Amino acid sequence: MMKIEKELWGKSPCGKDIFKYRMTNSSGAYVELSDIGAGIVAVVVPDREGRMADVALGYREPLGYFGDGPCMGKVPGRYANRIAGGRFTLDGKEYVLPVNNGPNHLHGGPEGFQNKVWESREHDGGVEFMYFSEDGEMGYPGNVKAVARYEWSEACELTLILTAETDAPTVVNLTNHAYFNLDGEGNGNILNHELKLNASEYLPTDDGLIPLGDSEPVAGTPMDFVNAKAIGKDINEDFDALKYGKGYDSCWVIDGCAGESVRFAAELYSPASGRVLQMYTTQPGVQVYTGNWLSGSPEGKCGRGYEDYEGVAIECQRFPDSPNKPDYPSPVLRPGETYHEAIIYSFGVRK
């Protein structure tokens, strides 16, 4: 029997109550969620010996989640990832957004969805978060209502359904920015974790991590995760994508992403703990970020700040800079349409 508990966790900088939810299945495995950016703050699952550990990075205090660089566990928006120069044109009109990542706009800007306290409720066996983004917020057109719904299963599957509606043409790209360490948060780096991606092509970028245009094959490059390999195996290779980001911070094109069905995106495995995370999504791309700049973030649940490469974010999403790339899957949302995407995190063990 699934149990959902709600508690008052703290107050935001402006004095708004922050709530935390825990969804626990009959095995005792649980997920914790927070109003701050509709975020995942804990995922406690067993290893191959049945020992429970929290495999999601997170902060000790709720205030750490506001304005943090890593966007820890949260839902960034209105547009996750980067938009070149903080500008895009829609229906002939140019929109100017704040730049907060070198010359570019990242994760909806400094006051993006991830830094907002969402409305929340327990509903129909899951937990739902809603944020209403006003027309002109961070430069984006149209009022947008965004909803993030989480469900936790007896099989340790965390399902995230992201929906949005608008009253004027706009662009939307939502994902979750959780960082995982399958040995348990605070238990070293993820360089020995093995990663497999259902992606035979990736998007090369400039040094600001803006895609240049067409995707390219991963074959013969350090970007090849078609067959599982250790994240650290090629991370120090002399290769532009790795030098620009100080590690992996690129978007891969999920094979067969032309349809709208849920399909396999990625698998993360820790040989040390035996834990496996398989991810499935309706999204066309997956951004893999190996925590290259985690150092200096707020105090973690483990009682200290995380170091670089202590977690990996696997973010299923639209491609970066899609508002400026007409050949990419369209991020445009119009009145009467519903943005509707799914991400499934399936946790298990390998003996």
| pLDDT for the residue numbered 1 | 72
Among 242, 222, 249, residue whose Cα is nearest residue 314:
249
Cα 97 from chain centre: 21
Whether 315 is a known active-site residue: answer yes
Q: Which one from 32, 105, 137, 177 is the annotated catalytic residue?
A: 177
Whether 177 is a known active-site residue: answer yes
| pLDDT for the residue numbered 259 | 66
Which DSSP helix (H) or strand (E) runs through 241?
helix 240-245
| pLDDT for the residue numbered 257 | 76
Give tens-digit pLDDT for 221-234.
999 999 999 999 99
Assess whether pLDDT exceeds 90 at residue 321: yes
Q: Which one from 151, 267, 315, 341 is the annotated catalytic residue?
A: 315
Instruction: Give me the domain span that covers residue 291.
Output: 3-349
| pLDDT for the residue numbered 292 | 98
Assess whether pLDDT exceeds 90 at residue 220: yes
Give tens-digit pLDDT for 89-145.
999 999 999 999 999 999 999 999 999 999 999 999 999 999 999 999 999 999 999
CA gap 252, 267 in Å, rounded: 14
pTM comes to 0.98
What DSSP assignment string belongs to 7-58? Answer: EEEEE-TTS-EEEEEEEE-TTS-EEEEETBTTEEEEEEEE-TTS-EEE-B--
Give tens-digit pLDDT for 9-66.
999 999 999 999 999 999 999 999 999 999 999 999 999 999 999 999 999 999 999 9
- The domain tally of the chain equals 1
Q: Report the CATH number at residue 102.
A: 2.70.98.10
**Coil/strand/helix, residue 195:** strand
Q: What is the mean pLDDT of the chain?
A: 97
Place of tokens 């499935």: 280
